[in-house]
Each structure stands twice: as structure tokens, then as C-alpha cells.
Amino acid sequence: MFVNGPGIYICDACVALGVEAISIELKRNPDRKRAPEPKDAPVRLFALCSFCGKKWDEVRALINGPGVYICDTCVSVSVKIIAGEWERAPGPKSATFAHLYRPKGWFKTPIC
């Protein structure tokens, strides 16, 4: 199964690896408020989540793949999508990852 973001995809196996990597990283430093600073200056400029666009200093953990990054929050959302707890929201296909998916039945829930 693939989870799609804005112009990017992640498979269920990579989501599972992401969960494991983030879990290990956060066990090392459970009080962490943001991801560790990348060592290379050019990486600091471009290290942002490929799904939501948050920079490395705005997330608790940021893991990288070949030319892409995913943050801890987007990994958590991906787990919920794969589990069937979240569904694709209606709307434009060019929306950000946060606008692509919502908890199942969200549009049926009354506001008040």
C-alpha cells in the first residue's frame, strides 16, 4: 500500500521502518522538542519534511530517504492511513499532506 502526499509517495514497509527509526531516536532523548541539527550547512537549508513542509527545527524527528524527508507527525498520519483510520479528503490534488487526509468520517461529524 502507498500513502501519497503532494507529489510524493511512501510505501507501508517504509512507514514501518520510519516508525521504528523514530521510536529508537526518541527513546535516546524522550524530552526532545525538535530534531537534531543537521551537521552540513546545505542540509540545514533543505532539511524539511517532503509531506508537510515543516523544517527540521519544527519537528521532533526527521528521517531521510533518497532525496526525501519525513517527520514524526507525517509518519504517525501515514500509520493511521494504512490502518484505515483516516481517509482521503475531497478537494484539489495539489493540496498539502495535511489537507489530503482526515480522520474517517470527519466530513459527517456535525460542527456543533
Residue 87 CB: number of other CB atoms within 10 A? 16
Higher pLDDT, 98 or 90: 90
**How many C-alpha atoms does 19 have within 13 Å on its Cβ side?**
13
Q: What pTM, to 2 d.p., does this model score?
A: 0.74
pLDDT in tens, 42-73: 666 678 898 888 988 888 888 888 888 899 99
Q: Are 2 and 9 in contact (CB under 8 A)?
A: yes
pLDDT at 13: 92
Q: Which three cell numbers stand for residue 36?
A: 537534531
**Rounded CA separation 26/50 (Å):** 20
How far CA 37 is from CA of 61, 62, 97, in Å, comes to 10, 10, 24
**Would you say residue 110 has pLDDT above 50?**
no
pLDDT at 79: 92
The amino acid that residue 100 corresponds to is: L
How far CA 9 is from CA of 39, 60, 106, in Å, comes to 27, 21, 23
